[in-house]
């Protein structure tokens, strides 16, 4: 099975490339997925059976002011990858939902994004029609910036941190997601939810990080989202049903060891 991974260097792509060690992993400098001719050339050269599209505009707040540019990557470019003849695994997001639900969203629940990033990712889902779409959420891992690494840093720097306690989601370890994606080469087309099971809030996730650090979780203070204004509104509840991966706490416990080891080895938190 020949794999091609786009967006190499990103958090998920790094874990996936580490797992599929004979995969071709191309960074943005090596393959800009917006360039249809470049996509055609890459597919002709590497002849992949499966393309995993890990490339994305992931700056959720910046997307509010740059929606067209975000759409070019998250929406239009996906059409370039969907029409090569290779199978496509398109990575999508819980932010395609509006957050008004109170039970986990089914794969076929109606979508209604509340921010620009979500709208562009939904356009990507539509462009990947007929292929495999894996929605994930609240990703963290050993590479790249992410919430878990930020909390590890803030525990060192501050006596207390205030964290949003009224947004609910499913924190997901990128390495668990990579292992799941690696099983999907022959999966039937359609939407698959790829998150760790269970749910918490950003506050709950931060408290768990503090606990793993041996710090007092009461140093993490709960605040409403309205006290932490950001350009892009977030859904208040974006838990995905049928999550496929193990419980989020168990995953975080194992991830924590790897992330700490990486930090000791000099990766930026
Ligand atoms: N992170 C999360 O919490 C989260 C949650 C839900 C879903 N997802 C989805 O999961 C997937 C992986 O996310 P991630 O957190 O691993 O992303 P990431 O770390 O931000 O990596 C994205 C990669 O895409 C590259 N890229 C951007 N524009 C490109 C282009 N035009 N052509 C080729 N590459 C391009 C980026 O390169 P540069 O670094 O050079 O810009 C970066 O290496 C994405 O589809 C994302 O939407 C993520």
Instruction: List the one residue out of 140, 160, 167, 174 whose CA is nearest residue 210.
Output: 160
Active site residue 237: no
Q: Is 170 left (phi over 0), alpha (psi -120 to 50) or beta?
A: beta
Rounded distance between C-alpha atoms, residue 193 and residue 238, angstroms: 12
Residue 56 CA to ligand 1 center (angstroms) comes to 4
Q: Which SS3 state, helix, strand or coil, does residue 53 take?
A: strand
Domains in the chain (CATH in brackets) are 3-264 (3.40.50.720)
Residue 82 is encoded by which pair of tokens? 């969907």
Adjacent-strand bridge partners of 25: 5
The values of phi and psi at residue 92, to 5°, are -125, -165
Rounded distance between C-alpha atoms, residue 140 and residue 47, angstroms: 31
Ligand 1 pocket: which of 4, 15, 54, 238 to mutate (most atoms <8 Å of CB)? 54
Q: Which SS3 state, helix, strand or coil, does residue 199 take?
A: coil
Ligand 1 pocket: which of 119, 125, 139, 145 to mutate (most atoms <8 Å of CB)? 139
The values of phi and psi at residue 221, to 5°, are -95, 135
Residue 73 CA to ligand 1 center (angstroms) comes to 10
CB atoms < 10 A from the CB of 224, how many? 10
Structural contact between residues 163 and 221, judged by C-beta atoms closer than 8 angstroms: yes
Rounded distance between C-alpha atoms, residue 152 and residue 154, angstroms: 6
Task: For the chain, 269 residues long, give each residue's pLDDT as a single digit of tens.
Answer: 999 999 999 999 999 999 998 999 999 999 999 999 999 999 999 999 999 999 999 999 999 999 999 999 999 999 999 999 999 999 999 999 999 999 999 999 999 999 999 999 999 999 999 999 999 999 999 998 999 999 999 999 999 999 999 999 999 999 999 999 999 999 999 999 999 999 999 999 999 999 999 999 999 999 999 999 999 999 999 999 999 999 999 999 999 999 988 877 766 65
Beta strands in 97-138 (DSSP E): 132-136
């Amino acid at each position: 099975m020949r794999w091609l991974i786009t967006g190499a260097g990103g958090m998920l792509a790094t874990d996936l490339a580490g797992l599929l060690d004979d995969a071709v992993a191309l960074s943005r400098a090596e393959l800009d997925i917006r360039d249809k001719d470049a996509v055609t050339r890459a597919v002709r050269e590497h002849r992949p059976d499966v393309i995993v599209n890990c490339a994305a505009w992931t700056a959720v707040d910046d997307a509010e002011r740059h929606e067209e540019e975000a759409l070019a990557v998250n929406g239009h470019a996906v059409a370039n990858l969907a029409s090569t003849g290779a199978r496509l695994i398109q990575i999508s997001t819980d932010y395609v939902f509006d957050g008004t639900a109170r039970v986990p969203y089914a794969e076929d629940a109606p979508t209604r994004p509340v921010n620009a990033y979500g709208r562009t990712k939904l356009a990507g889902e539509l462009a990947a029609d007929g292929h495999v779409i894996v929605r994930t959420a609240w990703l963290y891992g050993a590479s790249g910036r992410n919430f878990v690494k930020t909390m590890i840093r803030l525990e060192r720097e501050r006596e207390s941190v205030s964290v949003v306690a009224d947004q609910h989601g499913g924190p997901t370890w990128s390495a668990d997601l990579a292992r799941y994606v690696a099983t999907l080469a022959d999966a039937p087309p359609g939407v698959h939810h790829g998150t760790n099971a269970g749910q918490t809030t950003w506050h709950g996730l931060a408290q768990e990080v503090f606990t793993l650090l041996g710090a007092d979780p009461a140093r993490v203070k709960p605040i409403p989202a309205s006290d932490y204004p950001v350009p892009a509104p977030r859904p208040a509840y974006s838990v995905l049903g049928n999550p496929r991966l193990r419980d989020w706490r168990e995953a975080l416990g194992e991830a924590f060891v790897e992330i700490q080891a990486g930090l000791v080895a000099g990766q930026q938190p």
